[in-house]
Structures are given as structure tokens and as C-alpha cells.
Amino acid sequence: MAAKQTVLLLGATGETGSSILEGLLEANQFNVEILVRPSSAEKPAVKKIVSRGVRLRVAELGAPADELAKVLSGVDILVSAIGPQDCLQQKVLVKAAKDANVERFVPCAFITIAPPKGVMLLRDEKEEVYNEIKRLALNHTIIDVGYWHQISFPRVPSGRVDYATVIMDNTIHADGNAPNILTDLRDIGRFVARIITDERTLNKYVYTWGDVLTENEIFSIVEELSGEKIEKNYVSAETIEKQAQDAAAELSQNPQDPSKRYPAYISQYQYSKYVRQDNRPWYAKFLGYLDARELYPDFKPISFRECVQEALDGKGRRPYSG
């Protein structure tokens, strides 16, 4: 029997990383290890993962590439789910992965479909990493997931999903008719486990999805399942575009200020998703993405309806609550 491939996961304690960790372990076909920075090595969340038999490698991403290459020794597949603020720190990992003969690098993508430059700062920064990967001809796969189900459903008047939702203002953006690719956070890892061993996805972009829904459809589903009427707020396309421009201008005054980065990320997501309507299958295919559901027709994703029903039943979980 062939030896199991070693998959090293960066960001395993995060929301996306936790899903990927579970997906990799559930697949039961990899030797799963995690890469953690020194300041986090003693965190309870890391210890908990290690207690499940997952090997820990510790390194500072700011270390020279030759030191990092030693840390990556023996790794077949490197998967990164680093947080949005830290994406550029992966650049040095690219050189290290190349030097360590990593067979495939999955850099941290895991966002909505968007053009490679000029619409979303988050995408622009990730793309800088992709460009470094291409410059060094490192085998890779870029996986985007649309928006998570878990951050896409509105509140209901009774307040019974407040514990699980991050949306507090129940806004419909523009006319509410932009289709959006959605994936349940828990499915990301299950998709990743399949994609990373698939020859068809080597050096390709892939998008995953559970549903493609407009905001009007999302609100209708939540109203239907809850039996409650939701009061909606509307924001125009012009206002969304202006908010994105204003947030970018604010950020340009102090590009490293996290309090300025998050408003820019959020308003650019909204502009991209609802005004430009980038986060949809047609545009993904235009950009050259493969559709994970076409690659894996037997994959049964968790539907948006199921996720909402769980929240209504008191079985949901608000992301980042840990």
C-alpha cells in the first residue's frame, strides 16, 4: 500500500482551517500535520489538535526561506488557511515550499469569486501570493468557496437566531437579485480533501458551492422556515459603491490599520457581490475556474436551508464565537 501523503495545514485553529482540519482527518487518507507560529504553540486550541494525534510543526513565517524550507521537509501538500490580515505573509512560504519540493501548495484563497485586481483588496493581496507561486512555477490549486452559509442569513424578529447570525441589520443590497455562490463552512474541508489529490485540479482555480442564491431568495427561505416576516432595509447600488470607495480612501491614509481594513473588506465584498455580481458561476467559469460539483457529482453539500433550519432549532454556531 502506498504511504499516506503528508498534508501540512497552516491556520488550523481558525474558522476555515478548522473545517479543513476536520475534512482532512475525516478523509482518513492523509498524514495530517499543522504549522503554527511560536507564539501560538502553547494555545489550548493547538494542544487540543495535537491531542488528536496531529503532529505539530512550529515556525515564524517571517523566518528566512531556507529555515522555513527545513520546517517543510517531507511535506507533500501544503494548505494555508491563514487569516485575511496575514495573507501576504505567505509569500515567503512559496519559496520555502519550492525549495522543500512540496508537490502542491494550496494558498489561502477561500473567498468569493472576484476579479484578480482592482475590486477587492483581499483578493488583490491573495493574488500577489498566487503571482509569486506562478513566478516560481510551484504546483498549486486555488480554491474559492463563495460566501459561507453561516454569515449569509438574516435575523428574524423573535430573535431566535441572534445567537448564530452575524448579520444584524437585515439589509437587501441593490435590488437583492444578484445570484451568489454559497458554501457551508463545514463543507470547505470536505471539498478540500477531494480537490488536493485530484490531478484535474493541479495548477487550476476551483470553486465550491452548496447553493447559488440571491438575497431575495435567502430572505424568502428564512421567512418560510421561521414563519416570521422579516423587516428589510434597502441600500442602493450607488450607496454601496460609494461606501466601498470611501472605505478604500480611509484605508489608504493608514494601510496597516486593522480598524480601517475590515470596513474596506466588507464594503468591497458588498460591491463585488451585489453591484458587480462577481460571485456567481458564470463569472467563475469566465475566469477559468473549475466547478467542484461538476468534478465530484456524488458530493452532497449541506444546503443553505439545512444551515438555517439548524440555527432555528438552536443547533447553529456563530463563526468566531470561540
Ligand X SMILES: NC(=O)c1ccc[n+]([C@@H]2O[C@H](COP(=O)([O-])OP(=O)(O)OC[C@H]3O[C@@H](n4cnc5c(N)ncnc54)[C@H](OP(=O)(O)O)[C@@H]3O)[C@@H](O)[C@H]2O)c1
Contact predicate 12/18, CB 8 Å: yes
Strand pairing class (30-36; 55-58): parallel
Question: Which residue, 54 or 145, is less far from ligand X as judged by CB?
Answer: 145
**Which cell goes with 218?**
435567502
Q: What amino acid is encoded at 224 in this protein?
A: E
Question: Which residue, 24 or 122, is less far from ligand X as judged by CB?
Answer: 122
97 is a site residue for ligand X (CB under 6 A): no
Select the residue interacting with ligand X from 81, 129, 247, 308 (CB under 6 A): 81
86 is a site residue for ligand X (CB under 6 A): yes
- Cα(182)–Cα(176) distance, integer angstroms: 15
What is the 3-state secondary structure of 259-273? HHHHHHHHHHHHHHH
User: Measuring CA to CA, how many Å separate 101 from each of 30, 229, 259?
Assistant: 18, 56, 38
- Cα(142)–Cα(202) distance, integer angstroms: 9
Interface segment toward ligand X; rule CB under 6 A; list 82-90, 210-218, 278-286, 300-308: 82-90
Q: What string marks each residue from 22 to 61 as x (binds ligand X by CB under 6 A) or -?
A: ---------------x--x--x-----------------x
Question: Which residue, 227 or 258, is less far from ligand X as judged by CB?
Answer: 258
3 state DSSP class of 143: strand
90 is a site residue for ligand X (CB under 6 A): no
Identify the active-site residue in 47, 126, 260, 300: 126
Question: Which residue, 25 or 228, is less far from ligand X as judged by CB?
Answer: 25
User: Measuring CA to CA, how many Å separate 272 from each of 28, 121, 192, 293?
Assistant: 37, 11, 24, 23
Select the residue interacting with ligand X from 6, 8, 9, 16 (CB under 6 A): 16
- Judged by CB under 6 A, the number of residues near ligand X is 27
User: Measuring CA to CA, how many Å separate 40 from each of 13, 60, 63, 97, 270?
Assistant: 10, 10, 16, 22, 33
Active site residue 48: no
87 is a site residue for ligand X (CB under 6 A): yes
Question: Which residue, 151 or 228, is less far from ligand X as judged by CB?
Answer: 151
In the complex, the residues that contact ligand X under the rule CB under 6 A are 10-17, 37, 40, 43, 61, 81-84, 86-87, 89, 108, 110-111, 122, 145, 147-148, 151
Active-site annotation, residues: 126
